[in-house]
């Protein structure tokens, strides 16, 4: 018995000694990556196989556990309209183009489980229409939007991500705005984390009222470009109604030819940073990959509750609704959030 104790103690000591040089996270949570791959002409391709991809997390090669080519998993799309006065001139073009986008996405050949929700944001955020596949309801919601107040862009992105969080399948946010956030309680970093935690892809259609840099909110535009790139989406500059239609068509083409890739992180170094970078590569030359650049692990931010009014499409009186949100600056009782 004494000799056995010595052997066990020796083995434990060796194991401890081997663990000292570095610590690693062992995670069982599946991380999913929606990817769009385009050829040298910028045309999406859906013909690649699992063997054509290489995946790294924090620089460590990962085994691809799930691979779906031209995935037909249902789509949940949050369509966000900037309803601030700064985009009033373009709003009608945006509404009409969005209606055509909705009709095309939910038309013949669509997955019966696909759903779209419509949000508007000014100095507060309102879910004008919850997730539905009713084209009539979505059209009515989109065309009902009127301009008002400031611009709570990051609040809207955060709340849309929360609405997508527990939905099955692919999750997408399409936001139409000039990028000028003036009244959000949520910071850009908080909005980006919420979108990443929801596994959502962001497509940004940035309204450009003037062509030269003077007078444009380049900081807001760059923030949206960063968020779109970090989630595997794209950012477009809208100079006219014609641009808007072509942008919607490109988004639809991308969504029709997406790859779904999943992995269980292995060997990722442990540390205080909850964000881990992902790099998805294609072995074939001349191909460009659009995919999220990382994922979050560990505990989420401590939530607080914010309150806000909501206005129904039929014009009925606002009712108070509440939403879980991370700690924010400013007056927490300000009406800015929705469910």
Over residues 133-147, the pLDDT tens digits come to 999 999 999 999 999
* Long-range contacts of residues 131-140, Cβ cutoff 8 Å, at least 24 apart: 131/76, 131/163, 131/167, 133/106, 135/102, 135/103, 135/106, 138/99, 138/102, 138/106, 139/99, 139/102, 139/103, 140/313
In 241-329, which ranges are continuous DSSP H helix? 241-256
**Token pair belonging to 72:** 């037909």
Query: Is the predicted pLDDT of residue 153 greater than 80, yes or no?
Result: yes
The span from the CA of 129 to the CA of 121, in Å, is 13
The span from the CA of 200 to the CA of 231, in Å, is 7
Of the chain, the percentage scoring pLDDT greater than 90 comes to: 62
**Local structure of residue 86 (DSSP, 8 states):** G
Q: What per-residue confidence (pLDDT) applies to 299? A: 60
Write down the domain spans for the chain: 25-70+258-296, 75-256+301-326
Q: What per-residue confidence (pLDDT) applies to 212? A: 57
Global confidence as pTM: 0.82
Q: What per-residue confidence (pLDDT) applies to 226? A: 96
More confident residue, 74 or 238: 74
Query: Is the predicted pLDDT of residue 292 greater than 70, yes or no?
Result: yes
* Best CA proximity match to 256, nearest among 67, 108, 71, 103: 71
Sign of CA dihedral 258, 38, 117, 338: positive
**Local structure of residue 124 (DSSP, 8 states):** S
More confident residue, 322 or 302: 302
Give the domain 75-256+301-326 fold: Rossmann fold (3.40.50)
* Best CA proximity match to 123, nearest among 94, 155, 89, 145: 155
Of the chain, the percentage scoring pLDDT greater than 70 comes to: 76
More confident residue, 250 or 28: 250
């Amino acid at each position: 018995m004494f000799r056995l104790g010595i052997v066990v103690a020796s083995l434990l000591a060796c194991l401890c000694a081997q663990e000292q040089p570095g610590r690693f996270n062992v995670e069982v949570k599946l991380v999913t990556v929606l990817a769009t791959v385009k050829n040298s002409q910028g045309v999406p391709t859906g013909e690649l196989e699992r063997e054509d991809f290489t995946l790294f997390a924090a620089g460590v090669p990962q085994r691809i556990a799930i691979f779906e080519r031209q995935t037909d998993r249902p789509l949940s799309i949050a369509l966000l309209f900037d309803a601030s006065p700064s985009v009033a001139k373009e709003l009608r073009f945006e509404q009409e183009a969005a209606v055509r986008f909705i009709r095309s996405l939910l038309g013949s050949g669509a997955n019966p489980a696909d759903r779209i929700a419509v949000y508007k944001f000014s100095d507060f955020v309102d879910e004008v229409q919850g997730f539905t596949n009713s084209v009539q309801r979505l059209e009515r919601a989109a065309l009902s939007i009127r301009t008002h107040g400031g611009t709570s862009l990051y609040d809207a992105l955060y709340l849309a991500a929360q609405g997508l969080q527990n939905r099955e399948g692919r999750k997408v946010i399409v936001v139409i705005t000039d990028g000028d956030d003036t009244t959000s309680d949520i910071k850009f970093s908080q909005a980006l984390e919420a979108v990443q935690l929801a596994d959502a892809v962001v497509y940004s259609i940035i309204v450009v009222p003037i062509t030269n840099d003077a007078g444009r909110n380049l900081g807001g535009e760059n923030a949206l470009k960063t968020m779109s790139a970090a989630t595997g989406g794209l950012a477009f500059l809208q100079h006219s109604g014609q641009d808007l239609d072509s942008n919607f068509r490109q988004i639809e083409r991308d969504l029709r030819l997406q790859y779904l890739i999943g992995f269980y992180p292995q060997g990722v170094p442990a540390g205080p940073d909850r964000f881990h970078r992902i790099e998805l590569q294609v072995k074939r030359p001349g191909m460009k990959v659009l995919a999220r650049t990382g994922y979050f692990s560990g505990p989420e931010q401590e939530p607080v509750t914010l309150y806000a009014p909501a206005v129904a499409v039929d014009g009925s009186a606002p009712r108070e609704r509440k939403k879980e949100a991370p700690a924010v600056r400013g007056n927490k009782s300000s009406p800015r959030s929705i469910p």
